[in-house]
């Protein structure tokens, strides 16, 4: 009996009928992580491009219609209508619009202020309508949930923020046209 137990590893090593199964097990998980992460990255980049597009379209509208004062809700609605693909856009995005001194750009905070998911109705960080010929900076920050938050890139993205979301920030500068 003892001799049979000791010879088992040698007999197991000589057999080759399970070879493809072991290769499949070793290759399948990294391949799936790569595939799902590529999809997650594509979705994230699509959302970011659409957020940029929505912001650019809204900035164009604001820049050309300087006669009307816009509040944050109007501007958010304009961005969301142009963005299209962003889920729950009006509740997951926070805007910041402020005038900039052309000689001193230090009054822009480095960190964008995103919406707090636990308090979605928090007021805007700084939202000022500009005067004629004033340089303005508009920054939009949105929080998004990864598609698979426990797998691949989604795992890394979901750990980047306290509410298991990742942030996408878009920024645009423009000059208010005279009315």
Query: Residue 59 corresponds to which tokens in the numbers above?
Result: 């900035």
Taking only the tens place, the pLDDT of each residue in 13-62 is 666 676 677 788 888 989 999 999 999 999 999 999 999 999 999 988 88
Lowest mean pLDDT among 70-84, 101-115, 141-155: 101-115
pLDDT value for 4:
77
Domain spans of the chain?
Answer: 19-176
Residue 179, pLDDT > 60, answer yes
Higher pLDDT, 179 or 81: 81
CA distance linking residue 179 with residue 176, whole number of Å: 9
CB crowding 87-103: b at 16 or more within 10 Å, else e: eebeebbbbbbbebeee
Taking only the tens place, the pLDDT of each residue in 78-137 is 999 998 888 888 888 888 888 888 777 776 777 777 766 556 555 556 777 777 778 888
pLDDT value for 118:
57
pLDDT value for 116:
61
CA distance linking residue 154 with residue 146, whole number of Å: 5
pTM > 0.85: yes or no: no
Laid out side by side, the sheet with 166-175 consists of 93-99, 135-144, 166-175
């Amino acid at each position: 009996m003892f001799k049979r137990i000791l010879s088992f590893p040698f007999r197991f090593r000589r057999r080759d009928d399970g070879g493809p199964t072991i290769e499949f097990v070793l290759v399948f998980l990294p391949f799936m992580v790569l595939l799902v992460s590529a999809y997650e990255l594509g979705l994230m980049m699509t959302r970011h491009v659409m957020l940029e597009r929505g912001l650019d379209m809204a900035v164009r509208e604001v820049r050309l219609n300087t006669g009307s004062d816009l509040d944050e809700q109007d501007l958010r609605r304009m961005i969301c209508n142009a963005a299209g693909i962003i889920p729950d856009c009006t509740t997951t995005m926070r805007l910041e619009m402020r005038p900039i001194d052309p000689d001193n750009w230090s009054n822009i905070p480095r960190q964008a202020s995103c919406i707090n998911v636990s308090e979605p109705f928090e007021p805007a960080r700084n939202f000022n309508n500009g005067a004629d010929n004033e340089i303005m900076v508009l920054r939009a920050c949105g929080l998004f949930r990864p598609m698979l938050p426990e797998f691949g890139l989604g795992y890394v993205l979901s750990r980047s923020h306290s509410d298991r979301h990742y942030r996408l920030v878009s920024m645009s500068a423009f000059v208010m046209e005279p009315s």
